Amino acid sequence: MAKQARKSTLVAAMIGSGYKRGMGAEAIDARVFDLPDVAATSALAARVAAQTRRGDVVTLDGELGSGKTTFARGVITFLCNGPVEVPSPTFTLVQTYSCPRGTIWHFDLYRLARADEVYELGIEEAFAEGISLIEWPARMAALLPHDRLDVLLSEGAESGHRRAALQGHGDWARRLAKI
């Protein structure tokens, strides 16, 4: 019972904090994970990656330094079957990776001034043909597809720990149970 209450409190806090602002008001399903270290973050990212397929969108939200790029690196490493150099796309805005399941598009929208700038980055192609990992998704909130997995990363209870709250929308609500 305490686990369910903690989950409900965190999801309510996510919605109350504006996390869902413009990204669809309903939370279809949610799961919360405590991540004591980078290895735990990478392991959770691999579990998410195992459920992805072409056309999927995974949003990565959280404050600066919360582990968004670390999570993306874990997804990309899993999907590419081994270590891959994954720099933060903060300055390039998008990085692509050719992997056995298709092209992985890693977007960092922090520097966008307007949501429609994502079209210049190839977002339509990414949504249609690849797997999209999107940091700072609120920058394009109204343009996000309904079917997606939202990942909110935040500080954990102890120093150096993180917490990940995952919300599944559309088909991801069913797949989230497998993570």
Query: Do the beta carbons of residue 123 and residue 117 sit within 8 Å?
Result: no
Among 71, 57, 80, 31, which Cα is nearest to 179's?
Answer: 31
Residue 88 pLDDT level (bands cut at 50, 70, 90): confident
Residue 72 pLDDT level (bands cut at 50, 70, 90): very high
pTM of model > 0.95: no
DSSP 67-120: SHHHHHHHHHHHHTTS------TTTTSEEEEEETTEEEEEEE-TT-SSGGGGGG
pLDDT of residue 158: 83
Give the H/E segment covering residue 53: none
What percent of the chain stands above pLDDT 70?
Answer: 83
Query: Do the beta carbons of residue 37 and residue 160 sit within 8 Å?
Result: yes
Give the separation between CA 111 and CA 174, rounded to whole angstroms. Answer: 33
Q: Above 70 in pLDDT, residue 44?
A: yes
Q: Are strands 94-99 and 102-108 parallel, antiparallel or unpaired?
A: antiparallel
